[in-house]
Structure 1
């Protein structure tokens, strides 16, 4: 296999992982309807606990658990692992905290800004090249966010945390050369004390497993979805140029929007319709560009 063929294969894998992560994350809001009587922070705690249990069990069954935990023995790895756990833990917390504090708009704006942050970091920090179509898609996406900021009147702290926190996490995961599953498992382990406390404090249970069997199975399903989505996301981050990874991140909001409308029964605020239309245009530009390159057989990696 030539170097160019290997690069195409890696990029294709990254695109598939990115699409899978978007689909899984879009399914989570619908799944959470089954846990409507559970406190949001406790649900995050359960997600962390069950994600840790499921990944650890799978690795143990495969005989890879000891190897996966090996980075804990390295003093040099600890700063990166602790920082990664802090960054991703804050993001998961903000995802629940913002709606509870009435800042859902800020949360949505943050996730709209996130791909732009990734594209800009990829271009100007990692010096990645963008095609004309990718620049056009980026410009359209930036326009949608600017319009949303104008309509909402400000840029909230929530939006800044999401837009800047996740890129830092992805950059850290690229810099620290640890296996994805290993790093993710250890980060969840480091978050276990907080997760354990959240279950007891917000739900008033004696321990995180102090529920009926059917409720525990629902928590396990949430942990499985969260783990699968995040591992796909991190796998895409490892395989794709950061700019392309950022542009593909725009696939997730429309999917979540569709789930929200069709399954959850939410309505799109009329003032945000134009922003979503622009995001749809940006995705369409990328898809058309990818199709043209594929059918021309130009040898360049498919972009979507």
Structure 2
């Protein structure tokens, strides 16, 4: 196994898992403006990297395919929705629920694969999805509120994944095109906030906050670049297990650092979802091992 790819995947998931701590540092900035800065500086970084590596070909190659261009515009909308809700939820005290969304996401990917891509589930996968559904229902009816943040995060990221699976484009150029689609609206929105005296560009907060807003763009792009590097070099079964590192860290931060409630009802709901994930992960690992064993003829 490629150790460089393993460390890249580990680093990407750790950064994603620790992001609530970073966004919490920007709590004084309105969540929408944090997202807009994240879009702008992420786009600048990714586009600069692609121009350095590939020149202008990566833009021309995508825009020459109208269907692909529209798909990436749509995926950009879903990832922007995901980012926006995530940052708002973190700074509104819902870190535990955001972690639930990313625990649910792999299982929701399976369901979407059945509905949209006509994939078939084996009994273990159906069992996993059913247990997870019980967990969500438990949280809904026993915790006292519908987990709309978790489900919206899971659905938006799952739809993003479906579109990116359909769109025949490499990960980083695809991210670059998505970012460029979002760049102009984000810049105009920041300009509007600036004109209204409600923030927007720099000078309204401390230099430290301004720097954090810029670095937030890098923290958007770098884990995605590292992840795309890793998935080409290590087995997807390993990536599939490691992906739970991020929501686990988010959950621990929400409970241990921010002091969010995690009583008996939440514990039961999360345990059901963790059992579903364990069934799902073990089944995936076994199937990958069977595919890896050469046939004896």
TM-score of the pair, normalised by structure 1: 0.72
Q: In structure 2, how many angstroms separate the alpha carbons of the residues matched to 1:177 and 1:37?
A: 40
Query: Distance in 2 between the 1:142 and 1:16 partners?
Result: 33
Unaligned runs of 5+ in 2: none
Number of aligned residue pairs: give it: 288
Aligned to 2:201: 208
Deviation at 1:252, TM superposition (A): 3.4
Report matched runs for 1:261-300 at 5 Å: 261-285=255-279, 300=292
Backbone CA RMSD of aligned residues: 4.3
Give the match for residue 87 of structure 1. Answer: 78
In the TM superposition, residue 271 of structure 1 has moved relative to its aligned partner by 2.4
DSSP 3-state at the match of 1:208: coil
Aligned to 1:218: 212
> Would the aligned equivalents of 1:45 and 1:196 in 2 still touch at CA under 8 Å?
yes
> Residue 254 of structure 1 corresponds to which residue in structure 2?
248
2:56 paired residue number: 66
User: Partners of 2:84 and 2:44 in 1: how far apart?
Assistant: 20
Instruction: Verify the 8 A CA contact 1:84 1:172 in the aligned structure 2.
Output: yes
Gaps of 5+ in 1: 1-8
- Write the distance in 2 (CA, Å) between the matches of 1:158 and 1:47: 20
Deviates more, 1:17-26 or 1:112-121: 17-26
Deviations 1:268-303 (A, max 9, x none): 244211122233334445666678889xx75649xx
- State the Cα distance separating 1:199 from its structure 2 match: 3.3
Deviates more, 1:201-210 or 1:191-200: 201-210
- 8 Å contact 1:174–1:238 — kept in the other structure? no
Query: Do the aligned partners of residues 246 and 179 (structure 1) sit closer, same or farther apart at CA in structure 2, a change above 3 Å counting?
Result: same
Moved more, 165-174 or 44-53: 165-174
